[in-house]
Structure 1
Amino acid sequence: MEAQVLAQLLGLPQGEEVLKERLGREGHPQLSSALAAYLKRLQAPREVLAALEGLGQGAVVTGQQAGLLGGPALTFYKAHTALGLAEKVGAASLFWVASQDHDVEEVRHLHLLLEEEVRTLSLPLPPLPAGRIPFAPYREAVREFLGSWSRDTRVAYALEGETLSEFFARTLLAFLGERGLIPFDPMAQELAPLFQKALERELEDPLASAQAINQEAERIRALGGRPPLKRKPGATNLFLETDQRRLLFYQDRAFTDGVRRYSKKELLEILRTDPSRLTPAAGLRPVFQDLVLPTAGFVVGPNEFRYVAELSGVYALYGIPMPALFLRLRAVVLEPPIHRIVERYRLDPWAFVDGGEDAFLKAVKEVLEGFRELEAELLRLLEEVEALGQKARALEPTLERPFRRFRARLKGEGERLLKKLLRARMGRDAVLLHHLERLKRHLLPRGLPQERVYPFAMYALRHPEALLRLREAPISGRATLVLG
């Protein structure tokens, strides 16, 4: 089920009118001062510090895992959507750095397209939250991999980060800071204490939020949806960090992380000593975000939309309104060589992103001499079969279905033969093969959409106008960014 269809069935808040209605919510009383201290420590641009004034109006929030060099380009597209919405209503734009996430497999790789070759750096990161991973042991490897780009002032600034999450936050500041994007790292020493009261409240009734998620999951399932979140019996929505980050369970009036048991008093003491060690699971994270931030709008990707849709009961439990939900911009970047190829074949780059080689074959057949004539002959043959079927039906009506099946089989076999012909023709044409492989490297690297593999910083480092093209793009839907 499409995310927006599900949202309509569930009555979730969407749209700019709802965003305006949510403005004016108050965040944590110490939010502005804590954020100012965090940003000054990171030596944030003056535009970012000035953007803090917009917090009084409200915030449009988005977020992502702390990937290398800003992570895949979708990170910048989320930020762009949040910045555009915030600008429309005079609010601040905040980017939640998912520093509490310990799935290092999602953030330890950096893929770059260099000299028409996909090159990958993979760091041996420990299974810790990104906010706990020191960046110093990996700094030189990243610097060497980036080569001359590491001397760019923006990259050099980002490389000074003390942790993996700080490297990510500094990348956002370096490339999007002049637009006023405010990074927010919940594990930063200045910001982690803001969540103490919310965590204390969750410890008071540790199964209530999990029950609310399961109830909403049943409602979504009844509507034909597939809820991604499900809490097992006794599972809470809290992780405790010891030697690892483990989900807490609650049973017999005590907590356990699968290794040892904890009383509520012990967890409260841990919370008071180091509030960053107790962190919310996915089913609680957006709500905790909105308990601290004056969130009016929340920008998400399609997959995030599905799990946020399950949280209306948790928002109600905490007595705060769910923010207006917005899907992020999707974009594809066309560098000059790829722009020339898509123009040559009149190929829609989004058709290639969605359909891959089949889309290229469809475009190629328009320029291959003789192919269109052959395709036209097949259509004429099908028309003759249809005419033959009409004559047969006039003589014997019971033959209608057999003739319909015959025509469908003939059409299917004809299309398969034409596709085989195209592939065989392309296999003998070095230029076509070269163009197809180049399209794959640029638009579908590793078999995935470009926006999920290459960082947008790569384009910004290669093309001075890349950030301007992003700024000029619409804030929602699909955009094609032509560079060079």
Structure 2
Amino acid sequence: MEPALLARLLNLPQGEEALRAQLGRKGHPKLGEALRAYLKRLQAPEEAFSALERLEAGAVVTGQQAGLLGGPALTFYKAHTALCLAHRAGAAGVFWVASQDHDVEEVRHLHLLQDEELKTLSLPLPPKPSGRLPLAPHRKALQDFLGPWAQDPRVAYALEAETLSEFFARVLLAFLGERGLLPFDPMAEELAPLFREALERELSDPLASAEAINQGARRLKDLGAKPPLGRPPGATNLFLETEERRLLFYREGAFTDGVRRYTAKELREILQADPSRLTPAAGLRPVFQDLVLPTAGFVVGPNEFRYVAELSGVYALHGLPMPALFLRMQGVVLEPPVRRILERYRLDPWAFVDRGEEAFLEALRENLEGFRQLEGELAGLLEEVQALAERARALEPTLDRPFRRFLARLGGEGERLLRKVLRARLSRDAVFLHHLERLKRHLLPLGLPQERVFPYAMYALRHQNAMERLKEAPWEGRAVLVL
């Protein structure tokens, strides 16, 4: 189900009016002090400290896993949307660094396009939260892979980080800090204590939020949507980190992580000693975020939208209003060689992102000498058959349906033959094939949309105008960033 339809059916808050209505919410009393200390440790730019003052008005929040070099470009697009909305509302743009996530497969790869070749660095990371993974063992590999880019002041600053999540936060500050973006790492020593109260509440009623999620799932099912979240019997919404990060279950008055049992008292002692060891599951994370931050707006991707839509009961359980939801901007970057190829074929970049080779073949129709004539002759043939069908129907009306089926089959076979001509010519023409492969390499690397593979920092390191182009882009919808 599309997010817009889901939002209407569930009456979810959306739009700038809903955002402004939630401005002025209070965050954690110690938020400003803790965030200032965190930014000071990261040597954040002055614009980030200035943005702290706007937290009094409210925050527009977004977030992502702590990917290498900022992760795929969609990370910067999320930040851009949040910053634009925050600027319009007089609030602060906050980026939640998902440092508690232990799915390292999401963050251990870095894909770059260098000398027209897709190159990949894959770090051997253990399955731990990125906030626990030291950068030092991987710093040399990153420097070697980045080559001269490692000497860029922005990258060199980021590579001074202690952990992978801090590396990510420093990349955000290096490239977007001057726009006032505030990174927020819930595992940072300055920020983790802010969640003690929320964690205490979950421990006191450990199955309530899980039941609220399941109620939300049933509501989505009733609307004909597929719920992305669901909690099995006895599952809480909390992970405990020991030698691994494991989901806690609650049975017969005690907790278990599948290895040993814990009393509520023991977990509270862990919480007091190190609050970063207890972390929320996906169904609780947005609520924890909003218990600490004065969130008025929340910028998400289409998949995130669906799971946040399931959480209205969890928000109500914690006495929180759901923030106004916004879909992030989608972007495609066009470097000069790719822009020239698209212009030659009069091919829309988003058509290629959506349909790949099929879109290129459609564009090729206009550029292949003699093809339009062949296409015209086929159309003429179909017109002749149509005229024949009309004469036959005049003689015998019962032949109408057989002739319509014959026309449909003939038209379909003709289209298939034309496409075979295009594909055969494409496979033999070195120029066409080169152009198609180059478009795939830039716009559909690994068969995925560009924004899900290449970091936007790559373009910023290659083109001086890349960050300005992003700043000029619309905050919503689909954008083409021409460099």
> In structure 1, what is the equivalent of residue 152 of structure 2?
152
> In structure 2, what is the equivalent of residue 453 of structure 1?
453
Instruction: Encode CA deviations 1:390-432: one digit per residue, 9 max, x unaligned.
Output: 3333333332222222111111111111111001111111011
Alpha-carbon distance between aligned partners in 1 of 2:400 and 2:262, rounded to the nearest angstrom: 74
> In structure 1, what is the equivalent of residue 92 of structure 2?
92
Deviation, 1:100, is 0.1
> In structure 2, what is the equivalent of residue 429 of structure 1?
429
In structure 2, give the amino acid aligned to 1:296. Answer: A
> In structure 2, what is the equivalent of residue 332 of structure 1?
332
Matches within 5 A, 1:156-195: 156-195=156-195
> In structure 2, what is the equivalent of residue 219 of structure 1?
219
Q: Does 1:467 align with 2:461?
A: no
Deviation, 1:177, is 0.4
In structure 2, give the amino acid aligned to 1:456. Answer: Y
Q: Does 1:390 align with 2:390?
A: yes
Q: May I ask how many residue pairs the two structures share in their alignment? A: 483
In structure 2, give the amino acid aligned to 1:79. Answer: A
Alpha-carbon distance between aligned partners in 1 of 2:6 and 2:402, rounded to the nearest angstrom: 41
SS at the partner of 1:24? coil
SS at the partner of 2:283? coil
Alpha-carbon distance between aligned partners in 1 of 2:141 and 2:19, rounded to the nearest angstrom: 43
> In structure 2, what is the equivalent of residue 372 of structure 1?
372
Alpha-carbon distance between aligned partners in 1 of 2:167 and 2:314, rounded to the nearest angstrom: 32
Matches within 5 A, 1:62-461: 62-461=62-461
Alpha-carbon distance between aligned partners in 2 of 1:298 and 1:80, rounded to the nearest angstrom: 13
SS at the partner of 1:110? strand
Alpha-carbon distance between aligned partners in 2 of 1:479 and 1:197, rounded to the nearest angstrom: 41
Deviation, 1:219, is 1.1
> In structure 1, what is the equivalent of residue 5 of structure 2?
5
Instruction: Encode CA deviations 1:183-223: one digit per residue, 9 max, x unaligned.
Output: 00000000000000000001111111111111111111111
SS at the partner of 1:418? helix
Percent identity over paired residues? 77
SS at the partner of 2:93? strand
In structure 2, give the amino acid aligned to 1:337. Answer: P
Alpha-carbon distance between aligned partners in 1 of 2:430 and 2:50, rounded to the nearest angstrom: 55
SS at the partner of 1:145? helix
SS at the partner of 2:55? helix
Alignment TM-score, normalising by the size of structure 1: 0.99
Instruction: Encode CA deviations 1:62-115: one digit per residue, 9 max, x unaligned.
Output: 000000000000000000000000000100000000000000001000000000
Instruction: Encode CA deviations 1:316-372: one digit per residue, 9 max, x unaligned.
Output: 111110000000000100001001100111010100000000100111110111101
Alpha-carbon distance between aligned partners in 2 of 1:404 and 1:233, rounded to the nearest angstrom: 57
Deviation, 1:40, is 0.1
Q: Structure 2: which 5+ runs fail to align?
A: none
> In structure 2, what is the equivalent of residue 30 of structure 1?
30
In structure 2, give the amino acid aligned to 1:448. Answer: L
Instruction: Encode CA deviations 1:139-185: one digit per residue, 9 max, x unaligned.
Output: 01000100000000000000001000000000000000000000000
Q: Structure 1: which 5+ runs fail to align?
A: none
SS at the partner of 2:24? coil
> In structure 2, what is the equivalent of residue 52 of structure 1?
52
Alpha-carbon distance between aligned partners in 1 of 2:464 and 2:378, rounded to the nearest angstrom: 50
In structure 1, give the amino acid aligned to 2:371. Answer: F
Alpha-carbon distance between aligned partners in 2 of 1:470 and 1:425, rounded to the nearest angstrom: 38
Instruction: Encode CA deviations 1:238-257: one digit per residue, 9 max, x unaligned.
Output: 10100100011111111111
Alpha-carbon distance between aligned partners in 2 of 1:126 and 1:105, rounded to the nearest angstrom: 10
Alpha-carbon distance between aligned partners in 1 of 2:390 and 2:166, rounded to the nearest angstrom: 72
Alpha-carbon distance between aligned partners in 2 of 1:94 and 1:455, rounded to the nearest angstrom: 19
